[in-house]
Chain A
Amino acid sequence: MWMNTRRLVFVLLAALAAPAAADMLDLADRPLPYPMPAVEYTSGEQARSLAAFEGRRYMLWLVSTWCHTCIASLRVMDEANDRLAEQGFTVVLVRNHDNDGAPGPDARGFAGRFAPRLLDAANWRFGEASAQMKQTLNPRQYPDIYFLVDEQGRVQTVSTAPTATLDRILGFARAADAQGGTP
């Protein structure tokens, strides 16, 4: 009985303590900032390099289409996109490599289903992560992970769940000082 009670109390306390874990959504696996590795994704069967975004602030967002946080976050990003677009902020929405082995639409189909307005947004790009991108940027296979990259091509933030961290993204998009570090 004591073990069961202890287990239950531990789980409930852990669950209640989870709000404090909001700051633990930082998923960087190395000290920030660091140069964004030269990795590619595919879009319309063509390989695309992240080097094409150098000189501007952008967000590389890897999602799995079955992930509830990703769906809710896409809607939140859609609502916030006018503010992001005003800052000239680009979002590269890339489906995780092979969608983590699960069935589902490609990145454009995913956006078309849950936030169709974004398909016509000039500041959004869509694609599929290469195996190399998965190995380099998301080896742990987080279903939802994003990288905020500055004008110098340096990763300033690695996080997840824009539903919970939208302020961080908006702050980064607003930041005028390219040397400003993590917002």
Chain B
Amino acid sequence: MNTVIAALRLVGSEARYRWIALAAFVLFLALYLLTLPAAYVGGIISLRALAFLDVKLVAFAVVLAALAAALAPLMIYLIRRGQGSAKSTATGGLLIGVLAPVLCCSPLLPLAMGFFAAVLPAFSGAAGVKVQYFIATHQTELLAVAVLLLAIALYQNARKVVQGTQCRA
């Protein structure tokens, strides 16, 4: 936790990174507020989905957006300094947060699985509905995993930021 705070203080001392964080928060909050309730409207991301937001989804949207907003300036800071940033965990967290609500209950998976089953007869076309059932019945757990992955990514990148300054010193 101290590492994260130290890295955010260091990067946040420059105004442009504070603006990046703010812009990322607004962008990701809008994205998550529209995406998380998509499970209730056939996986379609639209303003109509906002009507199905509840306290739990708003809380997840705020937490996910806050983590993404903290992560974005750290990653940009590392890239600009030629240091490698930890992207895989962050990508995983973002993907789960966005894809889980979109794939649950939408026609996308059955269509995709039907296509694969047509190409590869050994492939079961029913796999799509099984995946959708899993997503639908584990929505909270999947969003919690997305939060966890983003938190890990934040720590990994914060450590690189702090280590980078120590190396230079």
Contacts and interface: CB of A to CB of B under 8 A. Distances in A.
Interface of A: 1, 4-5, 7-8, 11-12, 15-16, 18-19, 21-22, 25, 27, 64, 66-72, 100-102, 139-144, 160-161, 163-165
A70 B41 CA distance: 9
B84 A12 contact: no
A8 B94 contact: yes
B91 A7 contact: yes
Interface string B22-40: 0000000001000100111
Contact of A100 (B41, B107, B133): B133
B98 A12 contact: yes
Nearest to A4: B87
B104 interface: yes
B70 interface: no
Contacts of B85: 1
A27 B48 contact: no
A68 B102 contact: no
Nearest to B51: A163
Contact of B129 (A11, A71, A100): A100
Where chain B touches its partner, the secondary structure class is: helix
A61 B52 CA distance: 21
Contact of A161 (B42, B45, B95): B42
A21 B46 CA distance: 10
B136 interface: yes
Given A18-B38, A72-B52, A4 B45 contact: no
A100 B127 CA distance: 11
Given A4-B88, A141-B128, A25 B52 contact: no
A160 B105 CA distance: 10
Contact of B139 (A7, A68, A72, A139): A68
A16 to B, nearest CB: 7
A140 B44 contact: no
Contacts of B73: none
A115 to B, nearest CB: 15
B129 to A, nearest CB: 4
A164 B104 contact: no
A48 to B, nearest CB: 24
A19 B105 contact: no
Contacts of A160: 42, 106-107
B84 to A, nearest CB: 7
A59 to B, nearest CB: 16
Nearest to B133: A102
A67 B31 CA distance: 22
B44 A22 contact: yes
Given A19-B47, A143-B110, A161-B43, 9 more contacts: A15-B45, A25-B42, A25-B44, A69-B41, A101-B130, A140-B111, A143-B105, A163-B42, A165-B42
Contact of A66 (B88, B126, B137): B137
B157 interface: no
Contact of B98 (A11, A21, A68): A11
A164 B42 CA distance: 7
A77 to B, nearest CB: 13
Given A100-B129, A141-B128, A18 B45 contact: yes
B105 A11 contact: no
A28 to B, nearest CB: 11
